[in-house]
Chain A
Amino acid sequence: MLDSFINSFVDNYDLYLESLGETAAMVIYSLFFSTIIGLFLGVCLVVLRPGHIYENKVLYPILNAVINVLRSVPFIIILIAIIPITKWIVHTTIGVKGAIVPLVFYTAPYIARLIESALLEVNPGVVEAFQAMGASRRQIIWKVMLKEARPGIVLGLTIATIGLIGATAMAGVLGAGGLGDVAIRYGYQRWQPDVMYVCVIILILLVQLLQTAGNRISKKLRKH
């Protein structure tokens, strides 16, 4: 059993390395864009709510609803449904590039919610204290809310990254490649289960590594 894993790993070393690279590329690029968008939306979800620093009784419910809608569509459907948008943005729907757009569509609203809940953990009294000392709203967002929420934001991003790895496997079906794609192609279509298992083990290790790192960083940032 173990022998056959090791053999499979050695025989297909290049295949694994390449697909790991593709997975990493998809995750890193889409995480980058999703984080920027998600952070922005997450902050909006908090500061636009009633009683907060940018209270807006029109925008808040709209944003809230839009994010809920996006969050309720399964990834596989996003993948297909937004093909025209993907084409328009990156001029292709296949490969790593083609996968990034749907991955961002899927992950950004998720990150927005994770950031929102991390920001809601911040003691509103501290925001008040900074308003009382004459901080601007921008300073309150950067120097109070985002700074205080860092441990929660790191944990949220860790969760989002792991979710993203799962989603890349599905995106792989559209020819983006990656570990998930290899696992399905070899394990399911060509009936080479050992290749599938190796892929799965690599994925498990990757997830373990990320979660442990995320926990460590978050703990280091948390001073209470």
Chain B
Amino acid sequence: MIWMENVSKIYQQGKQEVDAVKDVNLHIRKGEIFGIIGYSGAGKSSLLRCINYLERPTSGHVRIQDTKLADLSENQLRMMRRKIGMIFQNFNLLMSSTVYQNIAAPLVLAGLAKQQIQARVSELLSLVGLEDKREAYPAQLSGGQKQRVAIARALANEPEILLCDEATSALDPQTTDSILDLLLDINRSYGITIVLITHEMYVVKKICDRVAVMEGGAIVEQGTVLELFTKPKTETTKKFIKSVFDADLPQELLQQAVDKAVPRKLLRISFIGETVSEPILADLTLRYQLRPSILYGNITKIKDSVFGFLIISLPGEPSVIQEGMAYMEQNGMQVEVLGHAG
């Protein structure tokens, strides 16, 4: 759907050059929700704005389906943009226009007949649940409602792609959830490809299928959200994950556990999805007479899946422990040795 090849963006600021985006390669697939996460100043907005050429890349190519954006004339680019919706952190609505007029704006620009516009806006208003706010002005709406208006406006021309620049960053957690649910709903019912940028791992975990981590203008890691959670490679990714999911046993607890005299191993077992319902620990006892004690654990929902881990202390003969570990791995768990004693 969207291909970015060696995209770089350099801003000229007086005599200084700012490398906002560095040699980014991305392929975003049709119908997926793709997240780009990074700290402030990482270059997320710049990258997103290259997708609809609000910002022309200094070098590299952007392709949408079979169209190379660099080949388009100004008019062709405008036509292309009608098929790419965009929403923003600050909503960016016309303050002097009603909700109706705001949602109708792209349709008016496209030159649709009044009756068609009315019908389409009514549809959109009910999609975002704002039928009763049709004649209200943005100043009379809450942040969440404003973002709903912005979403309706972005969807007016039935786009195939929706770009979201920190769409929930100005909202409280509850409203964030409702907007994310709406985006997920739109993605599922219309198959719209969504690219969203955020600095909150929570957003990624809740609705994204795949994610790229951005740092200093470059993409340092990308993959499915589950891959990132289960096998984070960079420190940045680990920090982001930690913000929603603490996977580390406090150091002194770890030390205490290792200091015990009886021979034992300290293990982290991670599990995804189905395996959660299997009585794995009970099986360790029944089959291998191992008696694990649980030191720490956490579990989280990642979009439609579940990811969790336990840190257990497992006393016993090393060979038996080895068998137990193999058994757990056979059952789809990831087992990692954190330390041993005795």
Contacts and interface: CB of A to CB of B under 8 A. Distances in A.
Interface of A: 123, 125-126, 128-136, 139, 143-144, 147-148, 150-151, 221-224
23 contacts: A125-B88, A125-B90, A128-B92, A131-B54, A132-B54, A132-B85, A132-B86, A133-B81, A133-B82, A133-B106, A133-B109, A133-B153, A134-B79, A134-B82, A134-B110, A135-B109, A139-B109, A147-B97, A148-B96, A223-B95, A223-B96, A223-B138, A224-B96
Interface in B121-174: 137-139, 150, 153-154, 157, 163
B78 A125 contact: no
Nearest to A122: B95
B93 A132 contact: no
Contacts of B90: 123, 125
A12 B219 CA distance: 83
Contacts of A131: 54, 81
Interface in B75-123: 77-82, 84-86, 88, 90, 92-97, 105-106, 108-110
B287 to A, nearest CB: 60
Contacts of A221: 96
Contact of A126 (B84, B93, B109, B139): B93
Contacts of A126: 92-95
Given A126-B92, A143-B108, A148-B95, 14 more contacts: A123-B92, A126-B93, A132-B52, A133-B82, A133-B106, A134-B80, A134-B82, A135-B78, A139-B109, A148-B96, A223-B96, A224-B95, A224-B96, A224-B137
Contact of A148 (B94, B137, B150): B94
Interface of A is mostly: helix
B105 A134 contact: no
B76 to A, nearest CB: 10
Given A125-B88, A132-B54, A148-B94, A224 B157 contact: no
B72 to A, nearest CB: 12
Interface size of B as a range: 20 to 34
B137 A128 contact: no
A152 to B, nearest CB: 11
Given A128-B54, A147-B94, A133 B137 contact: no
Contacts of B139: 223-224
Nearest to B150: A129
Nearest to A150: B96
A25 B270 CA distance: 85
A134 B109 contact: yes
Given A143-B105, A223-B137, A224-B139, A133 B157 contact: yes
A220 to B, nearest CB: 11
A144 B138 CA distance: 15
Contacts of A222: 96
Nearest to A125: B92
Given A131-B54, A132-B86, A134-B78, A147 B96 contact: yes
B109 A143 contact: yes
Contact of B94 (A128, A134, A139, A144): A144
A178 B180 CA distance: 65
A133 B86 contact: yes
Contact of B81 (A132, A144, A147): A132
A129 B84 CA distance: 11
Contacts of A224: 95-96, 137-139
A150 B94 CA distance: 12
Contacts of A130: 105, 109
A128 B80 CA distance: 16
Interface in B29-78: 52, 54, 77-78
A144 B109 CA distance: 11
Nearest to B98: A223
A136 B78 CA distance: 7
Most buried by B among A125, A133, A144, A151: A133
